[in-house]
Amino acid sequence: MNEISTIKPSTPKDWETDQEVRWCPGCGDYAILKAVQRTMPEIGATPENTVFVSGIGCSSRFPYYMETYGFHTIHGRAPAVATGIKLANPDLDVWIITGDGDALSIGGNHTMHLLRRNLNCQILLFNNEIYGLTKGQYSPTSREGTRSPSTPFGSVDHPAKPCAFALGSGARFVARGIDVHKNLPSVLKAAHAHQGAAFIEIFQNCIVYNDEVFEPFAAKPNAAQGQLWCEDGKPLLFAGGTKGLALDMERLTLKVVDVAEGDWEAAGVIVHNVHNRAIAHMLVEMPFGPFPMALGVLYDDPAPTFESAVVAQNAAASEGKIADLQKLVARGQTWMVDKAPHPL
């Protein structure tokens, strides 16, 4: 049918394509795909105005499964392609799907520049801490000592921290989610509502090459102790409200404090403020183990977007000028030859 989907509100089903999904059974990508398809109707998106752009890797197959416009580009370059799309048509709703290798290794440069320019789009970084599509080599986010075909004796380099990288690059929206967690759609919604580059790290389980790597906080039994869901204006509490984060004023870091009988104020627990860049920096740098994993919207402080600045400058520079091609080619110092040609 040639229905135009703007007419009636969509359902998650409207965002599914007829293509067979080709991820490994049990892959975290399925859950993320469902979460995105569930989110689209809720944010009032229209398929024809939505573009999914991806690089290369397991995650980057994503656009084929979304009934929208989609561009599966080349390794690491999705942010650059997306920049061209958005500058050519700022009305499009652009989503970048990338992975830890795609966004932080081969495409690290583009990720950095997209974030500092603040292109209005959503960047979903599926972090599985491994190269899946090339059969399991360690990635820039793999933990030290990761044994893989390319590091049979364990990796020796320090992992990149995606959210710290994003903040360091000047991102104005940084969030974290977990593939199978029920909160993922709300994180996606917040990202979409943010005007500017919205960076979301999604912990995604690779069932084949890096299974259960996030279990220490992602598994149900560990969730209470391991997950701290940050909410703007709410105290940073976890472990069922029995623990929280307070400022260690001497060391200028965060510290975990016990909360007795729900009196978090007495315990010195701080209230999350998504506009506070300093807290965001501390949250993304918290080592897991001594601290819980900070999740949800860690930072959300909008600034003017790149494409709006470009559009405004183009308009200002064009104001009062007429695009007369004949005048353009005759610019500069000219002279007339008026005699008829004579033989040489």
Task: Find the binding residues for another protein in span 234-253 (CB under 8 A).
Answer: none
Q: How far is the CB of 17 from another protein (least distance, A)?
A: 7
Judge whether 79 and 59 are in contact, CB under 8 Å.
Answer: no
Quick check: 8 binds another protein (CB under 8 A)? no
Alpha-carbon span 176 to 163, nearest angstrom: 8
Q: How far apart are the first and last CA of the chain?
A: 70
Phi and psi (nearest 5°) for 299?
A: -155, 135
From the list 21, 30, 105, 113, which residue makes contact with another protein (rule: CB under 8 A)?
113
The sign of the dihedral angle between the CA atoms of 206, 207, 211, 213 is positive
From the list 16, 30, 49, 224, which residue makes contact with another protein (rule: CB under 8 A)?
49
Alpha-carbon span 176 to 210, nearest angstrom: 19
Judge whether 238 and 222 are in contact, CB under 8 Å.
Answer: no
Quick check: 21 binds another protein (CB under 8 A)? no
Angle CA 48–54–58, to nearest 5: 125
From the list 32, 81, 115, 256, which residue makes contact with another protein (rule: CB under 8 A)?
81
From the list 9, 11, 19, 149, which residue makes contact with another protein (rule: CB under 8 A)?
19
Q: Which stretch binds another protein (CB under 8 A): 28-36, 213-221, 279-287, 321-329?
A: 321-329
From the list 21, 24, 43, 74, which residue makes contact with another protein (rule: CB under 8 A)?
74
Quick check: 44 binds another protein (CB under 8 A)? no
Quick check: 11 binds another protein (CB under 8 A)? no
From the list 13, 158, 251, 321, which residue makes contact with another protein (rule: CB under 8 A)?
321
Give 11-53 as a DSSP string: -GGGGB-SSPP-SPTT-HHHHHHHHHHHHHHHTT--GGGEEEE
From the list 12, 41, 47, 159, which residue makes contact with another protein (rule: CB under 8 A)?
47
| Tokens standing for residue 166 | 């994003």
Q: Which stretch binds another protein (CB under 8 A): 46-54, 131-139, 187-195, 241-249?
A: 46-54
Contact residues for 274 (Cβ-Cβ < 8 A; gap 6+): 230, 232, 280, 297, 298, 299, 300, 301
Binding to another protein (CB under 8 A) within 275-304 occurs at: none
From the list 9, 11, 17, 253, which residue makes contact with another protein (rule: CB under 8 A)?
17
From the list 23, 59, 98, 110, which residue makes contact with another protein (rule: CB under 8 A)?
110
Nearer to another protein, 30 or 71 (CB): 71
Binding to another protein (CB under 8 A) within 52-71 occurs at: 53, 56, 63-64, 66-71
Q: If we measure between CA atoms, which residue out of 189, 269, 183, 265 comes closest to residue 229?
A: 183
Residues in the chain: 344
Alpha-carbon span 159 to 22, nearest angstrom: 29
Q: If we measure between CA atoms, which residue out of 165, 185, 183 comes closest to residue 174?
A: 165
From the list 252, 261, 287, 344, which residue makes contact with another protein (rule: CB under 8 A)?
344
Nearer to another protein, 70 or 162 (CB): 70
* Number of chain positions touching another protein (CB under 8 A): 71
Quick check: 335 binds another protein (CB under 8 A)? yes
